[in-house]
Amino acid sequence: MKGADAASTARHVPQRKRAQPKRRLASKPQPDGESQPVVNTQFRILHQIICTSNFHMAKGKIFTNPPTWASDTTTEIYDARAHLSSTYPVYNIPEYIKRSGDISFIVFRYYRCSDATRWDHARTGDPSNVRYDEAIGIVSQPLQETVDRLSLCVSDPGSYYPKPANPAGPNQNQNDKEFDQDEYTMDYFYHHRHALDDAVDQADGALQSQIAALRMYVSTQYGRTFDEVDGLAAQGKVKSQDIHLLFCPNEIVVTNQSGVPAAHVLRAWPTKGNIIGLECWNWAYDGHYLRRKECQLAINRPIQPMVDIRDLEVYPLRFATVDEVSYLESRGRKFWSLRYQSFVAYDGWDLKAENYYVGAQPPFTLRVSS
């Protein structure tokens, strides 16, 4: 939020995708940490521990200092009982934003203890060995509007941190993030980095410096990886660890089971882990209507450090062969024509049939499923 009235910051954070009331660790603001060196006035970095253990109840889960492993036993052994902890807790993010002044965005770094093993995360006393995932939350309203304008798709942090099955239950949000606005991940910035460059050129004044600060952070943190992914993708290859970067929601992806290509529309960011989940939909003809049908595709992360993209179970359409594209277009046109047959055959079609989207996508997206 750029503006002299820092107190207005919280009010101006866009209230998007709000399904639940705000969640805070403490009902009353408490003194926040001040130890983080301010190297850039445009942003701050906060470190949040994702864990359901009671170990964190008294210590807090969000800190201005990076966490290290702390054993809750007297053995000083970093075993499975060890938890992450840090100093200078932050109990109230809006209050922290207010106290931080004129910042534009916050980098949230997420650390996990309770399921650290799943992250292949060794508990050790070495601070440099503490791993995290991160996402950026926008604080400045003008910067948020810029990001909204250039976005091809919406960031979906739920892909990484599924909400509890019963959000109203007693354990509500214990494993959830505290910043409940949209967040933008490395994946997002890979697919929007050129748009971000253009946005810097097109803006001026305070907004330009905000966008430039965001671009600088992205470039510094991820630029080398992005360049490497681009270079390998040009050769049709990808590092196993970077597969998720190939996919952007709203793009068409291709499966090629048994040598028969089929097209789907990706509807969320890929999940991470040994199995890369891809939530998709496709057009399905049920004998009467064409309908949007949800489907869950997956890629088993290859053991090899580098693979051919076209050897993956699912790959973006831009890596399909000319023959595959031609086949999908031909097949798509064939079934797209069925929508008119459906319409004619069923006079009195209910326009509220939610799954019927006339002209929503080109023929690529069509596929008959059983």
At residue 62, the 3 state secondary structure works out as: strand
- For Zn ion, which is the closer residue by CB, 55 or 226? 55
Site size for Zn ion (CB under 5 A): 4
The closest of 298, 281, 296, 287 to 361, measured between CA atoms, is 281
User: Residue 291 has what DSSP assignment?
Assistant: E
User: Given candidates 97, 113, 200, 297, which one binds Zn ion under the rule CB under 5 A?
Assistant: 113
- Residues 159-198, mask of contacts with Zn ion (x by CB under 5 A): ----------------------------------------
Whose Cβ is closer to Zn ion: residue 133's or residue 228's?
133
Can you read off the two tokens belonging to residue 202?
């097109």
**Nearest CB to Zn ion, comparing residues 30 and 53:** 53
Provide the strand spans (E) within 105-244.
105-112, 133-138, 183-185, 237-239
* Residue 183 beta carbon to Zn ion: minimum distance, rounded to whole angstroms: 21
Q: Which tokens is 243 given?
A: 């597969």
Residues written for the chain: 370
- With CA atoms as reference, report the closest residue to 240 among 252, 229, 253: 229
Cα Rg, the chain, nearest whole Å = 23
Q: How far is the CB of 131 from Zn ion (least distance, A)?
A: 14
83 scored as a contact of Zn ion (CB under 5 A): yes
Task: State the nearest-atom distance from the C-beta of 49 to Zn ion, in Å.
Answer: 6
At 102, list the tokens: 């004129």
Complex with Zn ion: residue 83 or 367, whichever CB lies closer: 83
Q: How far is the CB of 113 from Zn ion (least distance, A)?
A: 3
Tokens of 304: 């090899």
The smaller minimum CB distance to Zn ion, of residues 51 and 268, is found at 51
Site for Zn ion, residues 50 to 79, rule: CB under 5 A: 51, 53
Compose the 33-52 pattern: x for residues touching Zn ion by CB under 5 A, - for all others.
------------------x-
**For Zn ion, which is the closer residue by CB, 64 or 86?**
86
Is the CB of residue 132 less than 8 Å from the CB of residue 177? no
**What minimum distance in Å lies between the beta carbon of 121 and Zn ion?**
12
Q: How far is the CB of 51 from Zn ion (least distance, A)?
A: 3
Sheet of strand 262-266, all strands in order from the earlier edge strand to the far edge:
290-300, 275-285, 262-266, 252-255, 314-316
Min. distance of Cβ 23 from Zn ion in angstroms? 18
Residue type, 7: A
Joined tokens for residue 233: 């993708």
Interface residues with Zn ion (CB under 5 A) are: 51, 53, 83, 113
